[in-house]
Structure 1
Amino acid sequence: MLNKFREAKQLEIDSLRKSFMEGHLPAVYRGDRPSFVDAIKTKGPGAVIAEFKPASPSKGVLRENANPLDFADIYANNGAAAISVLTEHQYFGGTPDFLFMMSQPGIPLLRKDFILDPLQVAMTASSPAAAVLLVARMCDDVTHLAQMVELARMPGLSPVVEIFDQADLDMARAAGADIIQVNNRNLDTLETSLDQSRNFIKQKQEGELWICASGISKRAQVEEMAGLGFDAVLVGTCLMEADNPGEKLAELTGAK
């Protein structure tokens, strides 16, 4: 699955490299970039990062004609600490434009995509995003991941490093990551299990911020993950499929 995502991003990377060779580098965004870490700590443990994703590889289209402007307001008004914004187009129906469209409420945005090249980090820094997702195993090695982590921090982005197994966690720490996102999805079956997070959180170290991602759909699960030590949970599919996304989010955040 990750190889498919890698292939899907190559056109974007080639385009960015061509522009770079022609002397064009995206200018760093000069507007407000609220702190992702501060927002999580203020509402954590168990802060909810609400995700906007029109589609997913496992379920296809999640919501027809989903309006990112509407969802930004809905998420901000119902207790979200931050918004995860899918910008990958082929499998998730996203676009980097969503980062600008969803910045109006002023809560931190996490760019969720498959970031493989330093120029993608530069492009993220040219948007209102406050954080960027880096999937550990999509990097060539520890040196590559460490470079991406450092590049993200330079313009003020928070690098969120996603892990699936022990090797990923070891690599993330060796690369200097201090925001760890545990993905509960099995990449082979696409099924989710919170046992993944239940097991990994035992290794949380002082000074780290941990996020539980995938498989959360109930308030009791949010409370359990918070009790185990997760600073935040990332919730997407159940919000996108809900008849009333705001009501569902308020339930998850405890605002209802």
Structure 2
Amino acid sequence: MLNKFLAAKHAEIARLVKLQKEDALPAPYKGERLPFAAALRANRLACIAEYKRASPSRGDIAPHLSPEDVAEQYAKAGATALSVLTEEKYFKGKLEYIERMKFVGLPMLRKDFIVHPLQVIETASTPASAQLLIARMFNSATELAELIELGNSFGLESVVEIFDHSDLVLARLANATIIQVNNRNLDTLETDLAICERMIPHRRTAEVWIAASGISSSTQRRHVEAAGYDAMLVGTALMQGGDPQKALNRLLE
């Protein structure tokens, strides 16, 4: 699946390369970037609520819900931060959604398949607080570290997603400090919270750990909290019923 997602990014990267040659890359965002990791640390099992219009496993989820409406609903329900899916082909996202959701005053994570420095520069043109980098999409820790450091130069924090211990080793070699454990098997697209359980013993005190995928009930939320995670990222479970605020209220009750 990751190769499939990467292939979908070729046209985007080519567009950015063309803009670079024309000296027309977007300028960095000049406003304040809200702290991301600090916001997660300040809350007991912080919730990163995701704006997710579609997915490869579910198809359309809630394409009728606008980013503005969902951002407002999540803020009212007590989300700590927002995850904004910007990948267009499989998730029906757009980069502009980040700008459209900033009005609620929550830190925002750009969730996409970022593998090239120019994608980081484009992310930095938005008010995003953080970018998602998937460890196994990189050939080496050096490549991953380059994008983390480039993000840092713009005030962008990096959430590095892992699936297993080898991914974690790569993330740490790249000096990642925000670790996101994905409970989704990318071969079957099924989720299993046992992945979170298996990885959490490796957590270091100075790191921020996020559990992602497969959390849809208050029982599962408490399970992840008891395991020792700092935050959870939830998308489909909040969007699929068409009432994100009610769904988040129910999850956090």
* CA drift at 1:140: 2.1
Distance in 1 between the 2:40 and 2:183 partners? 20
> Helix, strand or coil: the match of 2:104?
coil
Which residue number in structure 2 is paired with residue 193 of structure 1? 192
> Helix, strand or coil: the match of 2:148?
helix
Q: Is the 8 A contact 2:65 2:242 kept in 1?
A: no
Which residue number in structure 2 is paired with residue 141 of structure 1? 140
Q: How does 1:45-194 map to 2 (within 5 A)?
A: 46-194=45-193
How many residue pairs get matched? 253
* CA drift at 1:201: 0.5
Gaps of 5+ in 1: none
Gaps of 5+ in 2: none
Which residue number in structure 1 is paired with residue 12 of structure 2? 12
**Residue deviations 1:103-152 (CA, integer Å, cap 9, x gap):** 11010010000001001001111101001000011112111001011111
**What is the identity percentage for the equivalent residue pairs of Structure 1 and Structure 2?**
50
Q: Is the 8 A contact 1:16 1:119 kept in 2?
A: yes
Counterpart code for 1:5: F
Which residue number in structure 2 is paired with residue 43 of structure 1? 43
Distance in 2 between the 1:235 and 1:11 partners? 29
State the TM-score, normalizing by the size of structure 2: 0.98
Distance in 1 between the 2:165 and 2:187 partners? 17
> Helix, strand or coil: the match of 1:11?
helix
* CA drift at 1:66: 1.8
Distance in 2 between the 1:155 and 1:11 partners? 24
Counterpart code for 1:251: R
**Residue deviations 1:44-98 (CA, integer Å, cap 9, x gap):** 3x11100001000001000131211100000111110000000000000000010
Counterpart code for 2:18: K
Q: Is the 8 A contact 1:80 1:253 kept in 2?
A: no
Question: Is structure 2 residue 225 aligned with structure 1 residue 226?
Answer: yes
Q: Is the 8 A contact 1:182 1:197 kept in 2?
A: yes
* CA drift at 1:222: 1.4
Q: Is the 8 A contact 2:124 2:154 kept in 1?
A: yes
Which residue number in structure 2 is paired with residue 251 of structure 1? 250
Q: Is the 8 A contact 1:50 1:234 kept in 2?
A: yes
Which residue number in structure 2 is paired with residue 22 of structure 1? 22
Distance in 2 between the 1:141 and 1:93 partners? 30
Q: Is the 8 A contact 2:52 2:93 kept in 1?
A: yes
Q: Is the 8 A contact 2:62 2:242 kept in 1?
A: no
State the TM-score, normalizing by the size of structure 1: 0.97
Distance in 1 between the 2:27 and 2:139 partners? 27
Q: Is the 8 A contact 2:133 2:160 kept in 1?
A: yes
**Residue deviations 1:194-225 (CA, integer Å, cap 9, x gap):** 00001100100120000000000011211221
Distance in 1 between the 2:32 and 2:76 partners? 19
> Helix, strand or coil: the match of 2:102?
coil
Distance in 1 between the 2:40 and 2:107 partners? 9
